[in-house]
Structure formats: C-alpha cells, structure tokens
A = this chain, B = another copy of it.
Amino acid sequence: MTPTDTIPLRVAVLGAGGRMGSEACRAVEEAADLELVARISREDPLEKVAEAGAQVAVDLTVPAVTAENVSWLVDRGIHAVVGTTGWTEQSLAPLRTQLEGAAGVGVLIAPNFALGAVLAMRFAEVAARYYESAEVIEMHHPNKLDAPSGTARHTAAAIGRGRAAAGLGPVPDATEKDPDGARGAVVDGIHVHAVRQRGLVAHEVVQFGGPGEQFQLRHDSFDRASFMPGVLLGVREVAAHPGLTVGLDGYMDLG
C-alpha cells in the first residue's frame, strides 16, 4: 500500500496553519511514498505550490477561498484533494466545465475524510434493505451546537434510500404516549437520537432490527488523526481518477 522503492509523490498542503492542515502536513511527512514540498498558509502566494513542483495539492482552507484555489490548481495541471466544506451545486458547475478542458487532472471533493463514517453510511444503506427497524444514535462532546449531526442526517437519508429500494414501508412503532419527546428526531422516516457527553469526540451507532435479531454498525472518532488515512487515500488515488469525484467512497472498493 505504501511502496517505498519508487519516487515519492510531491504534495502541497493549503491551509497548513490550521488544525486539520497541520495534521495533514504531519501525515504526509510520515508517509514514505509522499513528499511534502509546500506548506501554504493564508499569507503565502499560491505560486509557491507550482514553484515547489507539487503534483497533488490538499486544500484544507475555508469556504471563501477554496473554489478559487481549486480553479488555480486545475489550470496548472495539479490534482486537488479538497476537504474544505461549503461546496454547492453552484460552485461545482464551473469546476466541472473547467475539468472538461483539463485532460487527466483529478479533483476529489470529500465532505468527510473519516473512512469509518464513509463505510458506515454505505453499509447502512445496504443493510437497510433487509431489516424492519432502523435507528441512528449519534454521540458527541457537549460543546457541539447543533443536533443531530450532519453525518447522522446523511446516514438516516441513506437508510431511507435503502428501505425505499427494498419497498419497505414505515418502521414499526406503536408509541402512543411520549410527552417529552424521548423518541427523538425523525429524519427521512428514521428516528435519530443525539447524545452529548463530556469526554466523547464524534461517534455514531446505527441499529437494525428484525424478528429475533439485531445488526449494528458503530464508528468512533477519538481524534482528528482519524481523518488522515482518508486524506492520504485521496492523495494517492486522485491522479488515477481524472475529472471530478464527490465523496471519498468514489475512490474506495466497497463492492
């Protein structure tokens, strides 16, 4: 997986001064098959990426500048792995057009670099076809401002798609009396519960149930380090996937 007897891939990190960015620099430096050739912070000119001869750039900046960054990279034939949020169909459209004229250049836009979260979502959609009941419990540190998490919403949507594909109706639920809302939120027909607990980071449990049986998926992120295997996978694979890919699952072998 990490061949060391070949010439290392030359990688730049944009947003290197941020928390995710500095973690990414560290991960690239530690990988024997990659070479960190440029750390670009807010004040640095993008030209340094080209001057350093980067083949792949990781963009971990902010929504306000990411689209401009990626356009600049594609113009210079540099592959881009993008973890910055804020991309919409509106900002993706011109990028698609630009990539049509940039043969061989690959761009990955990944809203979530945690491989486990990507696996959980895909497996949840598949398992959903086979179970009468499904619920989602997400658990985070108590400083989180919104509930439920975006990942839990996406997982509920994936379960909904799986159920629809299998022709399943609503989940069984005889609750008549729930004065305080213990049954939680309902997203795409799926009940979603949010726990907030000191000491936790980001966790998700997906539970499926059928007669005499339960099936569970669980993903725990204890640390920002958990995103790095996904970043490195993107860096290594982006050149082999020309054009635009949205979602890390496009690079994963989930069959």
B137 to A195, Cβ gap below 8 A?
yes
**Given A213-B221, A229-B130, A175–B146 Cβ distance below 8 Å?**
yes
Considering only CB atoms and an 8 Å cut-off, how many residues of chain A contact the other chain?
85
Interface residues of chain A: helix, strand, loop or mixed (majority): mixed
Interface residues of A in 111-145 (CB under 8 A from B): 114-116, 119-120, 123, 126-127, 129-133, 135, 137-139, 142-145
- Residue A97 at the chain B interface, CB threshold 8 Å: no
Interface residues of A in 160-214 (CB under 8 A from B): 165-168, 171-187, 191-201, 207-214
**Given A1-B167, A175-B146, A197–B212 Cβ distance below 8 Å?**
no
Q: Complex: how many Å from CA A221 to CA B146?
A: 26
Residue of B nearest to A174 (CB): B143
- Of the candidate stretches A72-80, A234-242, A247-255, the one touching chain B is A247-255
